[in-house]
Amino acid sequence: MRLTRYTDYSLRVLIYLSARSEGLCSIAEIAEAYGISHNHLTKVVHELGKAGYVTTVRGRAGGIRLGRPADEIRIGEIVRATEDGFDLADCRNCVIAPACGMTGVLNEAVAAFLSVLDRYTFADLPKREIDILSLFPLADAPATVERVATQRAGASR
């Protein structure tokens, strides 16, 4: 099974916003961080906004952020919302489809795939926030890494 680029970009946007939970981000910032098309990302963010996964703030100081807490957005939910279908094979036009049983097996495989994705939220992904943030070429990355390290050191006391 292969996910579409649209789903890939949707997941990337939500991962980025989950890692950058404070403040607003711009589409240009995310596109640059991943080295992907700004135009494609604009369409993706627009659809994510319409679905409530992303909140957009217009204006000079605008940007985007998660529309819901990261621990409330299931990965399987996003994959279902962004993929057109999950037909792994075209059994409709196959002469042996009524007898072969492959349709049931493939449907079971898709259900298992989505079941695994449903177990995880975007809060589960960035296990090591410092590592994820340091991978993005952000202007404030050193300050963010230092802030997170200080917070973690204080939490462990």
**CATH value at residue 85:** 1.10.10.10
- pLDDT at 150 > cutoff 70: no
- 139 and 84 in a single domain? The answer is no
Q: Residues 130-156: what's their mean pLDDT?
A: 54
Q: Residues 68-74: what's their mean pLDDT?
A: 95
95-120 tens-digit pLDDT: 998 888 888 899 899 999 999 999 99
pLDDT of residue 139: 46
Range of the domain at 135: 128-157
DSSP state of 136: S
- 84 and 153 in a single domain? The answer is no
- pLDDT at 57 > cutoff 60: yes
Amino acid at 15: I
Nearest to 64 by CA among 74, 53, 72: 53
- 105 and 151 in a single domain? The answer is no
- 35 and 98 in a single domain? The answer is yes
- pLDDT at 130 > cutoff 80: no
| Cβ pair 73, 55 in contact under 8 A | no
| Cβ pair 49, 64 in contact under 8 A | yes
Query: Any idea which residue has 């494609």 for tokens?
Result: 40
- 141 and 88 in a single domain? The answer is no
Pairwise CA distance, residues 25 & 4, whole Å: 24
Q: Spell out the residues 6+ positions from residue 45 whose beta carbon is closer than 8 angstroms to its own.
A: 13, 27, 54, 56, 64
Q: Please count the structural domains in the chain.
A: 2
Buried b (16+ CB within 10 A) or exposed e, 26-35: ebebbbebbe
- pLDDT at 144 > cutoff 50: no
- 46 and 122 in a single domain? The answer is yes
